[in-house]
Structure 1
Amino acid sequence: MQKGKLMMVFCLAFSFMMTPKAWAGEKPVWLDPGREALGRAMSEIGLPKGDRNILVLTNAGYGSVGDQSTEAFLDIVPKETGASMGTRSLLPLHTGIQEPLWCSLYRKDTGKVVFLKWTGRGFEQETIDASPPKILNPEGWKKASSGLIGQRVFSVVSVSLTWSVDPPWALLRAATFHDHFCPGVNSGYIAGQYLMEKLPLGRGDKYVFVISPGKCAADALQVMFNTTAGKASGYAMAIAKEDLDKYTKGGVQPSIIAMRVNKKSDTCDGMALGFQWNKAYADTGVSSQEMAPKGGPGNPMFWIARVKMSRELARMPKERLLGYITTLKVFAGKADLADKVAGGDPYAVIWKK
């Protein structure tokens, strides 16, 4: 009798231990369909679990299914695909919380992408040929973006193709936070590497960044150094082109003000940095005309050029990359200089309306 009671207690305890934390309430209604959808996607991708050629990219943990959060999907992905963050084969991609849950499986050796998405009726799926010869041309891009994946084709293709050249982990994290790879993210990562050599942090120091004009580089620096607006260490400011031109030297425009601030010693040392875009265009084989084609974002070349250039920059050695950064100004002052550089009264603008 006593043994029976002990066995019952053990079984109950074990069942509670095995209940996923995400299922503290009711089990998400989409979870089993999600598992089945991943199984179908793996069959389509045609590789065994854990194969090094597979990348799983998903907005799970950010996106939603109806009014339910989707972090539980991150638990079933490794079980169904063998992918994991520790092997860099599972990358959660930052999206808004109102975006429906989606997931892509990319096969590096063939370029095949299987994309699945919650549509309200269940998980729908499509297959795309994302090999560079097929996807990095206007016709291929248009065809891919016209299907289920839609405008997310840029996120999926840019991250998948750049992942395939084995970029640094910090750069991958910056891109998934930014929700895609683009040369602006690369430039921010490169600037961060440059600062760690030229303006390294010591005890009690912190970085404060002002990105002007506000561009993609800001997100890379935020991920690398945890410099957020909420911690008064990351700012983005608009600036008129004619004002920016005043500070341009040798064809290089300033884009980042980086400051090393120490409140205790009351010091602020800083640099204004620019990126040599023309040199990067030449080295990557992507022209400024391709980056800004007629029709803008409505022209597939706008997106294709960004994928190509970002991928090429991601595969370059650090020593070469650092050569794209130019120091346009060096300055120093007391710690409150950082507040003055980042200061302004935005409320004055709207209070006049």
Structure 2
Amino acid sequence: MKKIAVIVGGYTKESEISLESGKVVYKNLCRKEFDPYKVYIFKDKWFMEDDKKKNYIIDKRDFSVNMGIRRIQFDCVFNAIHGTPGEDGILQAYFELLKIPYTGCNFHHANITFNKKYCLTLLKHFGINTAVSIFLNKNQTFCKEKILKKVGIPCFVKPNKSGSSLGVSKVYEEKHFLNALEKAFEEDEEIIIESFLEGREVSVGVLSFKKKIIVLPITEIISQNDFFDFESKYSGNSQEITPANLLPNIQSKIQKIAKKVYNSLNLSGISRAEYIIVNEEPFFLEINTVPGLSEKSIFPKQLKIAGISLSDAFKDYINSSIEKMKK
């Protein structure tokens, strides 16, 4: 059986969500084909935990585990870490150097998709609709009036590299703009300021399954909060309707664009992207190449409605990742 390291944790506030995603992955891996191990990656410690809750330190030189009587070398890594270092290309590059197969896109594409500035710039090149935006570095001088004249009020202020809406603010009045910048800069040294788009928000899962790119049933997100923030995502303060009640022509348009985004970014494995539908036109917001897989997450619910079991999806995901490393 293939030894699979299910890696969870990470270096950000998203680590708690990662732990929940990892539980679902570990539970749903087919035991006839895979021998899964729980591996925790935190800033201060990398370790594997066995079923008796005993911890074994990961040897970072080759990502192996010495259990005394035997040493474990993993056949594949299932990446369930949201945010850095699992979603931004850092661990992908590490596993690439060690020639250990890992799930998801490679380090270059992970870095591009995690960086909103890079991702939006690239997708604009391919003709994908996006909001009007401005990027700022922490030490950059700027003119508040010029920025607000371009993006308008209300607007969103976001960390450039962050997930789960951490550090994101919706600014309704000019007097709150600088506070929003400060909040975003606490999460990242680069931020993005975007115009507000009035419309329906949808989340679209895409995966490569049995060598075909599949767009999963679309989810409409109706947040009880001001926008789909961290609380809405993980505290139940949102209504998620899957499949979304969309007109056939709009649904077809979103599916076409979602597949185009997936191909334009040269992705592999699973992803989930958010869009705003404005006057029947989808506008791309952001994409997650390590989407949440917890029991409350959107992606597993979309898989279920599509008739794809988690076990089958994960099996194909792992095996295709191993095949990709062999090429």
- Between 1 and 2, higher relative CO (CA 8 Å, sep ≥ 6) is seen in 2
Q: Which has the higher strand share?
A: 2
Which structure: larger Rg? Answer: 1
The answer to whether TM tops 0.5 is no
**Structure 1 or 2: larger helix share?**
1
Q: TM-score, normalised by structure 1?
A: 0.27
